Amino acid sequence: MNQRWRNQRAFYRPNGEVIRTSEYEIFAIEHDRDARGFIEAHHYSRSYPAARFRFGLYRHGSLAGVAVFSHPCNDAVLTNVFHCSAIDAVELGRFVLLDNVPANGETWFLARCFEQLKREDLVGVVSFSDPVPRRTREGTIVHPGHIGTIYQAFNGCYLGLGARRTLLLLPDGSVLNARTVQKIRRMERGWKYAAALLERFGADAINGDPVAWLDRWLPALTRRLHHPGNHKYAWPLQRSARKWMPISMQYPKFSPLFAPPAQEHT
């Protein structure tokens, strides 16, 4: 099955479908707001990464998918793989196709994006797949988890699991990341938008000490989830990068839909 999205809900297309490429076009998306609006409307995380390149998949002029290639929080995510400057590689930060795109649309779209990135003289791409299901506070699954089957089909070099970490889940199952919390704690640029994420679920507006505000509302509105790490894949875009690539580890083959859920703590 091939995962798709619409209105923060996951859908699946059966294997064997073939995309009619004559019905689709791919263009670079000039403005962040256009890609951000699509991703926040459809992807379960409702979050947007630090984009460097944005591409849209259009069917008869309507946006049907978005790929965002971004810069990770830690340069080592890129430099440890490709042994280059962090600016010479990118992470596939978001890859979202609507539920009406046929099954093999992912690999076709991704291949066209990589062709564009090669023209920018980028060295390589890394991406992560999250195998841990996300549930709302009521127990509804909003993200069933996946092991990167599309990346395997696209001959990604599998590099194993990333670092273990503890996530803070909001009531709708989305993640309140550590950087967002830090912005509130230090009242840094963008802290009002960050605080609004908690206010949306019932927190009062900040009126005074932000640390005391966080101490009150984080335990009330978030749950802790101990995460074993995401699956990591990489692709060299230039011949020069291939010599640095390790031998791919064996692809994970278990089904995340039936894997035991990660331990959650309220």
β-pair type (89-97, 124-129): parallel
At residue 264, the 3 state secondary structure works out as: strand
Domain with CATH 3.40.630.30 in the chain: 2-163+230-265
C-alpha distances in Å from residue 42, one per residue of 39, 45, 177: 5, 9, 19
What is the pTM for the complete model shown? 0.84
Element holding 236 (H helix, E strand): strand 231-236
Q: Enter the CATH code of domain 2-163+230-265.
A: 3.40.630.30
pLDDT tens digits, one per residue of 128-165? 999 998 889 998 888 888 889 889 999 999 999 998 99
Strands ordered across the beta sheet of 223-227 = 165-169, 223-227, 264-265
Element holding 198 (H helix, E strand): helix 191-199
The count of C-alpha atoms lying within 13 angstroms of the C-alpha of 32, restricted to the half-sphere facing its C-beta, is 8
Spell out the per-residue pLDDT of the chain, length 266, in tens: 677 777 777 777 877 788 999 999 999 999 899 999 999 999 877 788 999 999 999 999 999 999 999 999 899 999 999 999 999 999 999 999 998 998 889 999 999 999 999 999 999 999 999 999 888 999 888 888 888 988 999 999 999 999 899 999 999 998 998 889 999 999 998 899 889 999 999 999 999 999 999 999 999 999 999 999 999 999 999 988 888 888 999 999 865 444 444 444 43
pLDDT tens digits, one per residue of 77-111? 999 999 999 999 999 999 999 989 988 899 999 99
